[in-house]
């Protein structure tokens, strides 16, 4: 999906949830649309305060958490050894990720373990996450040399 279409969809989702759609929030969304990398809350804050010098870290963090909540879900949050990071959600289809802990390279994989996890009677899954963290081929040698 083109970035302009994704932005329109995300803004509509925020509006549907009763959020004020401010220029600051649009800029936050644009940051994630313009990059496929993972962003820590501090990195987002540093980037956003260039255009919005009065923005607080708490405001950025709160918006990141809200944008990654399941009912909005425009961002995905990932837990790395150096803390939580965010990136724009994948748009294509349901899949999971193998993530390099060194360079943060992300390799999607299609296998979904949920049907094999032994669903509990009386429980209806509506969302799940599954990531595998390790080292990609390029970083394995560097990690072993440490």
> Is 96 known to sit in a ligand binding site?
no
- Tell me if 139 is assigned to a ligand binding site: yes
3-state secondary structure of 100: strand
CB 14 within 8 A of CB 33: no
Burial class (CB in 10 A: 0-12, 13-18, 19+), 102: middle
Residues 112/130, Cβ–Cβ less than 8 Å: yes
Establish whether 97 is an annotated binding residue.
no
- 37 vs 13: CA distance, rounded Å: 23
Quote the longest CA-to-CA distance of the chain: 52
Does 100 belong to an annotated binding site?
yes
> Binding residue per annotation — 128?
yes
Dist CA 69 CA 96 (whole Å): 18
Q: Is 90 annotated as a binding residue?
A: no
Binding site members for Fe cation = 94, 128
Binding site members for Zn(2+) = 100, 103, 136, 139
Binding site members = 94, 100, 103, 128, 136, 139
């Amino acid at each position: 999906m083109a970035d302009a279409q994704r932005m329109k969809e995300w803004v509509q989702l925020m509006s549907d949830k009763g959020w004020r759609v401010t220029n600051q929030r649009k800029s936050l969304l644009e940051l994630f649309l313009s990059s496929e990398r993972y962003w820590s809350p501090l990195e987002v804050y540093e980037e956003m305060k260039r255009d919005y010098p009065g923005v607080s870290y708490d405001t950025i963090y709160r918006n990141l958490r809200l944008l990654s909540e399941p009912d909005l879900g425009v961002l995905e949050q990932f837990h790395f050894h150096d803390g939580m990071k965010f990136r724009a959600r994948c748009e294509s289809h349901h899949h999971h990720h193998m993530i390099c802990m060194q360079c943060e390279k992300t390799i999607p994989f299609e296998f979904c373990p949920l049907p094999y996890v032994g669903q509990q009677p009386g429980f209806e899954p509506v969302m799940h996450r599954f990531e595998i963290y390790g080292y990609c081929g390029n970083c394995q040698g560097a990690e072993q040399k440490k």
